[in-house]
Amino acid sequence: MNITVVGSGYVGLVCGAGFSEMGNHVICIDSDKNKIDLLNNGSIPIFEPGLQEVIKHNLSLGSLKFTTDLKAGLDRSNLCFIAVGTPQGEDGRADLSNVLDVAKSIGRLVEKDLYVINKSTVPIGTAALVKQTIYNELRLRNKDLKIEVISNPEFLREGAALTDFLRPDRVVIGSDSDEAIAVMKQLYARFTIRNNNLIIMDIKSAEMTKYAANALLATKISFMNEIANICERVKADVNLVRLGVGSDSRIGYSYIYPGCGYGGSCFPKDVQALVHTAKEHGYNPILIESVEIVNQNQKLVLVDKVTKRFENQISNLTLGIWGLSFKPETDDMREAPSVLIINELTKLGATFKVYDPKSSPIAKKYYLKDNLSIEYHTSKYDALKDVDALLLITEWKEFSSPDFEEMKKLMKQPIIFDGRNQYNKNLMHGFGFEYFQIGV
């Protein structure tokens, strides 16, 4: 099939690479010429395992192209995916300006019948709004074309996005058109042939499915973090509680690891957007709203532990930081707990030696650019020299089995605040560390 993907960010790049890898001809569109030049040279602006190699391969085959020319893509394609960002507005609702700008451009440029597929995470009712926007532009041009708008939400995990796309656990298609459904079934046939996991539903249900899935996963995280906080107060061990809870097949072990809060581009934004949608329709979603409140409070747990251990004497401390990204295997810093933790401790006078395998340049340029108390390092051990304590914030694999004897030699004080419960407390005490976990 000939496919256009509008938006060459995280979702758009994965979709473009994945569809071209399956033999389709894909044109990816972006308004940022510098990004397009970068992509056409085989480089990518994000870190996602395996993605750059697949893009380079399909560029060389000619099955994947990048351009700023939307008309060229529409002239060639009969399917157009919208995969632009929907950032969170100040009131919590999703900002649809990028999506609607694309819809207007499609209406102004399209010359033939077209299937338009919403891949961006959008509120319920957006497909109808996109269709209306396109048809408004077509009427201004006196064009009589058939445009079908389809909802096809993405369920990609950062750090495993390409695998998730090529071998999805489900593909959700929202459409009321038998013809559009048949086309989407054909498109995804290679992706779903092994487990027949393509799910067809109406458009609004498909849009709701994306928000419901992320809200439920976020709820599991916040629930377990709340249990962790209770465990500390009653002197229970949340690591053992997690084992007992996760062994229930109805619950499972996914997303019940306690820690210092969730972040990223999906959970915070989508939970708040769902809250806003509910209130807009006259319902007060108490549980879902509380999920976000628990998460924001959880990001301050490590700050509280540090201030209590040092009896509020923070101004002369140098703290080592391991991990900046909101999760391992990505350089994404959006809503990362590290930003709030570092900024709050900076206010109290701390300075920092920081290491992250991928995120340091992004943190330095965007998220922590105004923080002059941070010294960035290219080695996890360099970030420990003469520090008063280590804060482990992101559970990258290389932090799993470090040389504890070497760490103890480098640190001014052998104190670890583990925001992801990576280590065994008895082992750490055996090495002579003061060791603080979440929920223990």
Which residues are part of the catalytic machinery?
Answer: 266
The DSSP code for 87 is P
Residue type at position 320: G
Question: Nearest CA to 275 among 222, 214, 318, 348?
Answer: 214
Question: Nearest CA to 294 among 272, 316, 261, 319?
Answer: 261
Q: Please name the helix (run of DSSP H) or strand (run of DSSP E) that holds residue 279, with its range, or none.
A: helix 267-280
Collapsing DSSP to helix, strand or coil, 94 comes out as strand
Residue type at position 311: E
CB 428 within 8 A of CB 416: yes
Q: Strand order in 171-174's β-sheet?
A: 64-67, 25-29, 2-6, 79-82, 114-118, 147-151, 171-174, 198-201
List of residues 6+ apart from 216 with CB closer than 8 A: none
Tokens for 209?
A: 């499915």
d(CA 180, CA 115): 7
The DSSP code for 384 is G
Question: Nearest CA to 179 among 143, 147, 144?
Answer: 147
Can you name the residues that pair with 392 across neighbouring β-strands?
Answer: 322, 418
DSSP letter for each residue of 313-366: --TT-EEEEE--SSSTT----TT-HHHHHHHHHHHTT-EEEEE-TTTHHHIIII
Collapsing DSSP to helix, strand or coil, 151 comes out as strand
The DSSP code for 431 is T
d(CA 256, CA 244): 11
Calculate the CA 338 to chain-centre distance: 15
The DSSP code for 1 is -
CB 222 within 8 A of CB 422: no
* φ, ψ at 26 (rounded to 5°): -125, 135
